[in-house]
């Protein structure tokens, strides 16, 4: 037990950088980084309060039809679904791609010790995700309903166990996935393709179950009579999509009765059972899926080195861009985080609209009727926003880690650094452009004109966004990390870049809004393109100066 506790303590320390945080608090030079992070969090409070206000109105809507428990179901379902989706990424990174595995694997440790400690660390991390989601639902329901002390006690227990089931399921899926795709050759590519197929299947399954349960609710003439007499009817119907969320909602909505206690016991009991099953399976699966990631492979084909190989020349920026692409491809954590956000949103939109028979498109059709150019403008905005959300530009120097000194020693000019790294970001963006265009085509709005403007203006906007992210990343690169997930998900540069990028795009959007009724749409396209070009050139000038200075100052 002491061995596991030591592992948990060490893992929590490395995951959350507790020692580094203490150093930064004491070091006046680094204290400003903590201040910036605090300011960034405070800036999110108004938006969060606006969402909470909307949830309060949602409670009133459910209360008016006597189905308040459905409000709780939404909280549990959303929080556990988010934990599961992001848990797959975190689990893959934490279990299979963290640098501490080279130290832990040779030690006399069982797989359950390694997985158990990493799971606890991930669960603590997931509280940061689940608490902001589920707490407003529990607090609003409890305060507006004047619930008793037992309600709040049940809530505390449920909150502690909320991440366990989705995170354990994500762990089991990832371990099975890594074991049975751990084959020679193109295993990384196979895993990436399989991951996206897995997400598509999961989303499709989730939406399909919700569609079936929603259709089942309205069958029968006595449905509304049943709803009036059974306050938990909607929870039981819709909760079939993910039963643990239903158990959590029923335990709180019926906390004063035996039904509430039984659902609480069921929620906690199944959480413990799923966790134990995950630990048991780790003994059978973990090392088998890990071996391929610790092996050093050689390229296939002839091992002879020919003199002609040294005569091949390529522009410096192209060589650097290809190097960045190879780094993204051979590190699935980087590729999943960069491409995942670019394609998952269109996938969700397509699946959700297909499951409701196209009913969600009616409002959109009314909005754009006679204003089809709005599709192009919104498409350009989405592609441009993805230029900062793909995290390629705003982590490009951080991904070098402690090897950044190599970039300072090789004879590559600052302009080639910029061109090469922007090129790698644009290659990822082309996937985003294709995903957005496919979504528009599925919705039935795609034309040749829209393809042209979304592609051209979207790429121009993406260049500016990539350079903006690079400015932030080179100014304060995160070079000391032990887990590639930290570079993408625990890097303050990403948050800063997204905030500034969103403000930039908001300004461009406000300009377009003011010009819509005053100018022809072609002139507006030209102005937007000009803004993107001027911005990209201005960021390029700034970036050249900062790269030269930082390469001289960085230790």
Per-residue pLDDT of 247-304, as tens digits, reads: 888 898 888 889 889 999 999 999 999 999 998 888 888 777 666 555 444 444 444 4
What pLDDT score was predicted for residue 452? 92
Summarised one tens digit per residue, pLDDT across range 380-438 is: 988 898 888 888 888 888 888 877 777 777 777 888 888 889 998 888 888 888 888 88
Q: Which of 74-83, 193-202, 510-519 has the lowest mean pLDDT?
A: 193-202
Residue 442: predicted pLDDT: 76
Residue 141 sits in the same domain as residue 31: no
The pLDDT, as a whole number, for residue 365 is: 63
Residue 50 lies in a domain: no
Q: How far apart are CA 217 and CA 268, in angstroms?
A: 28
Task: Indicate whether 310 belongs to any domain.
Answer: no
User: By C-alpha distance, which of 102, 116, 139, 91 is closest to 8?
Assistant: 116
Q: Shortest CA distance to 168 belongs to which of 88, 89, 113?
A: 88
- Are residues 11 and 135 located together in one domain of the fold? no
Residue 51 within any structural domain of the chain: no
In a domain, 89, yes or no: yes
In 3D space, the residue among 292, 345, 331 whose CA is nearest the CA of residue 486 turns out to be 331
Distance CA 55, CA 435 (A): 31
In a domain, 255, yes or no: yes
State the pLDDT at residue 465. 92
**Domain identity same for 423 and 521:** yes
Q: Are residues 251 and 141 in the same domain?
A: yes
Helix H segments across 181-232? 187-217, 223-229
Same-domain pairing of 154 and 131: yes
**Buried/exposed 146-181: b ≥16 CB within 10 Å, e otherwise:** ebeeebeebbeebbebbbbbbbbbbbbbbbebbbeb
The pTM of the full predicted model, rounded to 2 decimals, is 0.62
For residues 110 and 144, state if they share a domain: yes
DSSP string, 275-343: HHHHHHHHHHHHHHHHHHHH-----SS--PPPGGGGG----HHHHHHHHHHHHHHH-HHHHHHHHHHHH
Domain tally, the chain? 3
35 located within any domain: yes
Q: Is residue 248, in this structure, part of any structural domain at all?
A: yes
Report the half-sphere exposure of 397 (CA within 13 A, side-chain side): 26
Return d(Cα 119, Cα 537) in angstroms, integer: 46
Same structural domain, 182 and 269: yes
For the residues 536-555, what does the mean pLDDT come to?
85
Contact 123, 88 (CB under 8 A): no
User: What are 197-225's pLDDT values in tens digits?
Assistant: 666 666 665 555 555 545 554 454 444 44
Question: Looking at the structure, do residues 439 and 410 belong to the same domain, yes or no?
Answer: yes
Whether residue 141 is contained in a domain is answered as: yes
pLDDT exceeds 90 at position 328: no
DSSP-derived secondary structure letter, 356: T
Q: What is the pLDDT at residue 303?
A: 44
Average pLDDT of the chain is 76
403 and 326 together in one domain: yes
Tell me: do 5 and 38 sit in the same domain: yes
pLDDT of 142 > 60? The answer is yes
Give dist(CA 170, CA 85) in Å, integer.
Answer: 8
Q: How far is CA 45 from the centre of its chain?
A: 20
Express each pLDDT in 348-373 by its tens digit. Answer: 666 555 555 555 556 566 666 666 77
HSE-up of residue 266 (Cα within 13 Å, Cβ side): 16
Q: Are 353 and 109 in contact (CB under 8 A)?
A: no
Q: CA triplet 173, 178, 181: central angle to 5 degrees? A: 120
- Alpha-carbon span 439 to 490, nearest angstrom: 30
Nearest 5°: the CA angle 363, 364, 370 is: 110
The range of the structural domain enclosing residue 122 comes to 56-217+229-296
Is residue 390 within 8 A of residue 342, CB to CB? The reply is yes
Whether residues 351 and 446 fall in one domain: yes
Residue 472 sits in the same domain as residue 359: yes
């Amino acid at each position: 037990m002491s061995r596991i506790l030591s592992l948990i303590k060490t893992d929590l320390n490395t995951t959350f950088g507790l020692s580094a945080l203490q150093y930064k608090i004491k070091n006046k030079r680094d204290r400003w980084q903590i201040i910036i992070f605090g300011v960034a969090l405070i800036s999110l409070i108004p938006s969060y309060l606006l969402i909470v206000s909307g949830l309060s109105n949602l409670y009133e809507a459910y209360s008016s039809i006597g189905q308040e428990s459905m409000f709780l179901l939404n909280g549990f379902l959303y929080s556990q679904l988010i934990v599961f989706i992001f848990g797959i990424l975190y689990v893959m990174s934490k279990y299979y791609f963290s640098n501490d595995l080279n130290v832990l694997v040779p030690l006399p440790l069982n797989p359950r010790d390694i997985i158990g400690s990493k799971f606890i660390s991930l669960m603590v991390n997931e509280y940061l995700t689940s608490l902001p989601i589920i707490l407003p639902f529990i607090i609003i329901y409890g305060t507006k309903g004047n619930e008793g002390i037992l309600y709040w006690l049940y809530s505390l227990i449920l909150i502690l166990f909320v991440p366990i089931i989705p995170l354990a399921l994500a762990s089991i899926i990832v371990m099975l996935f890594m074991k049975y795709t751990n084959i020679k050759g193109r295993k990384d590519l196979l895993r990436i393709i399989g991951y996206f197929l897995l997400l598509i299947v999961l989303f499709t399954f989730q939406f399909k179950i919700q569609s079936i349960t929603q259709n089942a609710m309205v069958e029968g003439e006595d449905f509304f009579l049943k709803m009036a007499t059974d306050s938990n009817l909607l929870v039981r119907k819709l909760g079939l999509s993910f039963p643990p969320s239903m158990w959590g909602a029923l335990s709180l909505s019926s906390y004063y009765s035996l039904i509430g206690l039984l659902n609480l016991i069921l929620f906690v009991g199944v959480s413990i059972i799923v966790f134990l099953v995950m630990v048991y399976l780790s003994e059978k699966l973990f090392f088998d899926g890990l071996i391929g990631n610790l092996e050093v492979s050689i390229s296939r084909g002839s091992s002879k080195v020919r003199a002609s190989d040294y005569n091949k020349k390529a522009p410096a920026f192209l060589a650097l861009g290809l190097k960045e692409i190879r780094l993204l491809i051979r590190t699935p954590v980087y590729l999943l985080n960069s491409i995942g956000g670019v394609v998952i949103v269109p996938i969700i939109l397509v699946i959700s609209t297909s499951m409701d028979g196209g009913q969600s498109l009616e409002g959109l059709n009314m909005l754009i009727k006679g204003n089809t150019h709005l599709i192009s403008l919104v498409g350009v905005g989405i592609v441009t926003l993805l230029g900062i959300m793909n995290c390629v530009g705003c982590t490009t120097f951080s991904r070098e880690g402690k090897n950044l000194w190599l970039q300072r020693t090789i004879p590559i000019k600052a302009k080639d650094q910029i061109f090469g790294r922007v090129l790698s970001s644009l290659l990822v963006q082309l996937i985003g452009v294709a995903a957005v265009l496919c979504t528009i085509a599925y919705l039935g709005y795609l034309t040749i004109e829209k393809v042209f403007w979304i592609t051209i203006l979207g790429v121009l906007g993406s260049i500016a966004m990539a350079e903006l992210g690079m400015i932030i990343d080179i100014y304060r690169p995160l070079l000391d990390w032990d887990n590639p997930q930290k570079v993408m998900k625990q890097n303050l540069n990403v948050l800063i870049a997204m905030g500034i990028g969103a403000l930039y795009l908001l300004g461009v959007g406000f300009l377009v809004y003011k010009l819509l009724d005053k100018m022809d749409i072609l002139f507006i396209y030209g102005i937007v393109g000009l803004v993107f070009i001027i911005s990209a050139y201005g960021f390029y000038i700034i970036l050249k100066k900062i790269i030269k200075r930082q390469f001289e100052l960085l230790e």
